[in-house]
């Protein structure tokens, strides 16, 4: 129920930092949200970028991600973009966003490190995406699962969503919100760590 827009005028990479993120958030009455299934995959966006590094590094990130996704049968859904970011420092990253019909986007990012091949960086992001896609009933990705808890806890009404993997971040955020807000938040999960689950905000 909130109107939000984001822009990144400058990227920040360790150790220089200096990244900048701009957010526009309009006043809104937050609404509860229910999503327990994932729609058909509409597309996978691949964005490979560098800051103050050679363009061929971004091309290697892009090519490796596209190659891996094609091997897994997702090649026809891929849309690709390479970018050069403004930044005080140097860095490289690749982001993969899976968009499903009627559902929230699922984003996975891997950041380059000195001495780490671009192909290995791309593999990290692709592995996370494939892990998410392998759980058909997980409507929300592991990174977003804990982030959407606070706005849903502030919304009036019951929210329910499934997650592809229950993480310690999700458990911790649920406990933190419970300490400040009078909301019942339940994280239902199978026995063991890092398994699919369901979140209920009552």
Annotated catalytic residues are: 169
User: Do residues 33 and 61 touch, judged by C-beta distance below 8 A?
Assistant: no
CB 188 within 8 Å of CB 202:
no
Q: Which residue has the tokens 């959407």?
A: 148
- 7 to each of 19, 22, 145, how far by Cα in Å? 11, 5, 22
The candidate with the shortest Cα–Cα distance to 142, out of 111, 163, 173, 168, is 163
Q: Tell me how far apart the alpha carbons of residues 66 and 2 are, in angstroms, rounded to a whole number.
A: 33
Among positive and negative, which fits the CA dihedral 160, 172, 168, 120? positive
Question: Rounded to whole angstroms, what are the CA distances from 128 to 124, 142, 165?
Answer: 6, 9, 11
Alpha helices in the chain, H assignment, sequence order: 55-71, 118-133, 142-147, 149-154, 168-180
Please say whether the beta carbons of 117 and 109 come within 8 A.
no
């Amino acid at each position: 129920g909130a109107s939000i827009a984001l822009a990144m005028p400058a990227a920040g990479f360790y150790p220089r930092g200096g990244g900048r993120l701009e957010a526009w958030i309009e006043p809104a009455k937050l609404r509860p949200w229910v999503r327990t299934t994932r729609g058909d995959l509409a597309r996978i966006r691949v964005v490979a970028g560098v800051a103050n590094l050679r363009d061929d590094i971004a091309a290697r990130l892009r090519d490796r991600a596209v190659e891996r996704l094609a091997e897994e049968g997702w090649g026809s859904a891929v849309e690709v973009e390479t970018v050069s970011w403004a930044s005080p420092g140097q860095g490289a990253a690749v982001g993969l966003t899976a968009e499903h019909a009627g559902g929230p986007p699922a984003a996975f990012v891997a950041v380059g490190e000195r001495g780490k091949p671009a192909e290995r960086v791309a593999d990290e992001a692709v592995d996370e995406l494939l892990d998410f896609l392998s759980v058909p009933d997980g409507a929300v990705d592991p990174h977003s699962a804990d982030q959407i808890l606070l706005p849903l806890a502030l919304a009036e009404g019951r929210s329910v969503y499934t997650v592809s993997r229950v993480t310690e971040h999700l458990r911790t955020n649920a406990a933190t919100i419970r300490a400040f807000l009078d909301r019942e938040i339940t994280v239902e999960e199978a026995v063991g760590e890092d398994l699919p689950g369901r979140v209920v905000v009552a």
